[in-house]
Structure 1
Amino acid sequence: MKAVIAIDSFKGSMTSLQAGEAAKNGILRVFPESETVVCPLADGGEGTVEALTLGMGGELQSVMVKGPLGVLVNAVYGIVERETKTAIMEIAQAAGITLLPKEKLNPLITTTFGVGEMILDAIEKGCRNFIIGIGGSATNDGGAGMLQALGFEMRDKDGNEISSGAVGLKDLESIGKEHVIPELEECQFQIACDVTNPLCGPQGCSAVYGPQKGADAEMIRQMDGWLSHYAGIALSFTEERKAENASANSMNVGGDSSFSGAGAAGGLGFAFRVFMNAELQSGIQIVLRETELEEKVKDADYVITGEGRLDGQTVMGKAPIGVAEIAKKYGKPVLAFSGCVAEDAGVCNEYGIDAFFSILCNAGTIAEVSECEQATWNMTTTVEQIFRLIKTLKH
């Protein structure tokens, strides 16, 4: 028997790898001779670096960069050796909301500069391909900080560099490229982005995500206007680039700020696509493709997936459904395990998950059942019992 295990992380409890190994141990207790393949899983958010780097046989790196308030933080990313080195990153390592206590959240001054420093470090180590998850930012600077770190000149009317954070955009008058590192032209960026918000407007990053980053109504109004101003200057910049090299297909969206995902991570989606010709894609689809899950599933007898909470939202592009879609291409049975099963989780059965189970074997507080050791035991025990039933039915 062969089982392929691809379980998303249980946030605050088990990593994807820990959950997968726990499920594997449960299967091996019943079928000790079986082949069990654990594929770390993520959707572009927290855990993507570990899941993709380990799933693709890479190594973790660390570099000191500026955090959202300019204080140095240790950012971890992965490098995978391929035909060309691929860097696996999460912008939250350098600009994440979890890096700051709630009382210090302030999108007027938080910066993405450290994201650019991470990219520079990977370029210096020979990377030219990038897979970057852009969820969980504490910033709203439209990616200006990242661009500055990479050598773009973000100037005010006097020719000086603008200040950090969203507030700097109010003084932006021009964008230059004279000091952009030349290696950037050789780089390709895949951006794991499941946010569809435009840059500006009622559904833009300021209005929708600003409050959770510390913005009040007046700050939201100001930041939205500054980002719109920034997008207009970006349009002028990209038109100049096209005029310089009419054959180039880079900068192919101009300064259009309405495309899906432009508002991701406080406008980082906009900066990546407009200035770095990046592709914004579904995070789970990138992970599934890069870890070559489909090849592993083709000859599997069972496919195991899951996440911390299984509910109606799971079918809206989350990791377990991505796994189930691949499995059903080859007619494979799919079992899902989660910490919590909501009342509306039944819809998952209509999207390829044949049966799902909560792993809560013992009653307890949320803190108690979320503790990694307890959650691991619960996962192993539940999977073991399900496969004992499978074994019984086989006989």
Structure 2
Amino acid sequence: MKIVIAPDSYKESLSAMGVACAIERGFKQVLPHAQYIKLPMADGGEGTVQSLVDATGGDIIEHTVTGPLGEPVVGFYGLLGDGQTAIIEMAAASGLHLVEPALRNPLITTTFGTGELIKAVLDRGVKHIIVGIGGSATNDGGLGMAQALGVRLLDEAGEPLGFGGGALSALHTIDMTNVDSRLANVRLEVACDVDNPLCGEKGASHVFGPQKGATPEMVATLDSNLAHYAAIIKAQLGQDVLNRAGAGAAGGLGAALMGVFNATLRPGIEIVMDAVNLSEIVSDAHLVITGEGRIDSQTIHGKTPIGVARTAKRYDVPVIGIAGCLSEDCHVVHDHGIDAVFSVVNRAVDLPTALAEAAQNIEITARNAAAAITLTLR
């Protein structure tokens, strides 16, 4: 019996590999002779580097870069087991968690450190770069990232722009002469699960700016600056990013990745599933087990359990979901490939206790799920 265990992490509690190991321990108590394959998963957000490194036998490498406010921070990237693929979470260099609430100001925060992480993986000689975008402290349209990769963004006097979304109002010329030439020989993919355009009421500044410290006045300025930026990109690089889906992700970083660097934006779970070869591995499985911290009606919108379940259903493989908790509307997942769901919390406890006991509760729940399965085999 081949059982594939492919969960996401339980945020603030266990990594995806930690969840997978707990599920395996529980199942082995009942089905000790089954073949178990653990594939820690992610949807392109927090934890994606760790999951892909764990799934492929790769390494996480720390690298000091420029933080959102220009200060040095210790970022990281993942080098996958094939040695040719690197995974970056932009939040590791340019994330909101790196800026104290009182200091958050998207007029000045920069994605320069994200560009430095991309340069670092280019130095490793990789041929495929995956960039997970989300959780940013920035609204600079990827200005800083482009600067770090050799693009010269100049004002009317030919002087380089400074950092931050506030600087974009002065943009006059995008000079690609000195862009890092290694990018031409690399496949650049972006794990992105939002479809916000660059500007307007659903754009980067209006939707995400306030959580990054933007006042209503700042939002108006940032939105205007990004519109100007999009016009320059269209006029000088021939790419129309203003209303392109995903251009507004990570404070407009999506716009730069697509419009300046010709990257491809894809749902994060699709990129991760391809990277770990999920489809081939589940094709001859007898059971697939997935899960995340909470299974609810939002799970069907690009989250890991549904991506895994839909892949399994292409081969008619049954799917179980094991979650930290279940919402009242979790039943919607049954229409998307998950046959049964289980919550691991077995009594009324506070959140810190639930997080601390997650591993043992997952193991208990997995053991009971395995026992229920064996009843049908008798």
Aligned to 2:47: 47
What SS does the corresponding residue of 1:280 show, helix, strand or coil? strand
Residue in structure 2 matched with residue 101 of structure 1 by the alignment: 100
Instruction: Kindly provide the amino acid, as one letter, of the partner of residue 361 in structure 2.
Output: N
Once residues 194 and 8 of structure 2 are traced to their aligned partners in structure 1, the CA distance between those partners, rounded to angstroms, is 19
* AA of the residue aligned to 1:356: V
Which one-letter code corresponds to 1:51 in the other structure?
Answer: S
Contact 2:241–2:258 (CA<8 Å) still a contact in 1? Answer: no
Are 1:376 and 2:359 an aligned pair?
A: yes
Would the aligned equivalents of 2:151 and 2:176 in 1 still touch at CA under 8 Å?
yes
- Mapped to 1, the partners of 2:33 and 2:221 lie a distance apart of 63
In the alignment, which residue of structure 2 is the partner of 1:358? Answer: 343
Residue equivalent to 1:112: 111
Separation of aligned partners in 2, 1:303 and 1:157: 58
**Does the CA contact (< 8 Å) of 2:133 and 2:249 recur in 1?**
yes
Work out the CA distance in 1 between the residues paired with 2:43 and 2:94.
18
Partner residue, 1:393: 376
One-letter identity of the residue aligned with 1:191 = V
Asked whether the equivalents of residues 77 and 87 of structure 1 are also in contact (C-alpha less than 8 Å), the reply is yes
Per-residue deviation at 1:339?
0.9
In structure 2, the residue matched to 1:250 is: none
Provide the rounded CA distance (Å) in 2 between the counterparts of 1:281 and 1:53: 20
Matched residue, 2:236: 237
In 2: Cα distance, 1:287 partner to 1:63 partner:
23
Provide the rounded CA distance (Å) in 1 between the counterparts of 2:58 and 2:253. 26
CA contact under 8 A between 2:113 and 2:148: conserved in structure 1? yes
1:145 is matched with 144
Q: Quick one: distance in 2 between partners of 1:353 and 1:186?
A: 40
Which deviates more, 9-18 or 84-93? Answer: 84-93
> CA offset at residue 64 of structure 1?
0.3
Question: AA paired with 2:261?
Answer: M
* Residues 330-349 of structure 1 aligned to structure 2 (within 5 Å): 330-349=315-334
Give the C-alpha shift of residue 333 in structure 1.
1.1
Counterpart for residue 296 of structure 2? 311
Instruction: Verify the 8 A CA contact 1:349 1:355 in the aligned structure 2.
Output: yes
SS at match of 2:376: helix
* Equivalent residue letter for 1:282: P
CA distance in 1 between counterparts of 2:306 and 2:80 reads 26
The residue identity in structure 2 corresponding to 1:76 is F
The structural deviation recorded for 1:81 is 5.1
Distance 1:296 1:188 in 2: 24
SS in 1 for 2:46: coil
| Offset from partner CA, 1:168-196 (integer Å, 9 cap, x none) | 11111111122212212222211001110
Question: Percent of pairs identical after alignment?
Answer: 44
Q: Deviations over 1:226-281 (max 9, x none)?
A: 00111111122214xxxxxxxxxxxxxx1331110000000010000111110000
Q: CA–CA distance in 2 between the matches of 1:237 and 1:277?
A: 14
8 Å CA contact 1:233, 1:255 repeated in 2: no
Unaligned runs of 5+ in 1: 240-253
**Is contact 2:4–2:282 with CA below 8 Å preserved after alignment?**
yes
Provide TM-score, normalisation by structure 1: 0.93
Distance 1:22 1:98 in 2: 29
**Counterpart for residue 286 of structure 2:** 301
Query: Is it true that 1:169 corresponds to 2:171 in the alignment?
Result: no
Question: How many pairs were matched up?
Answer: 378
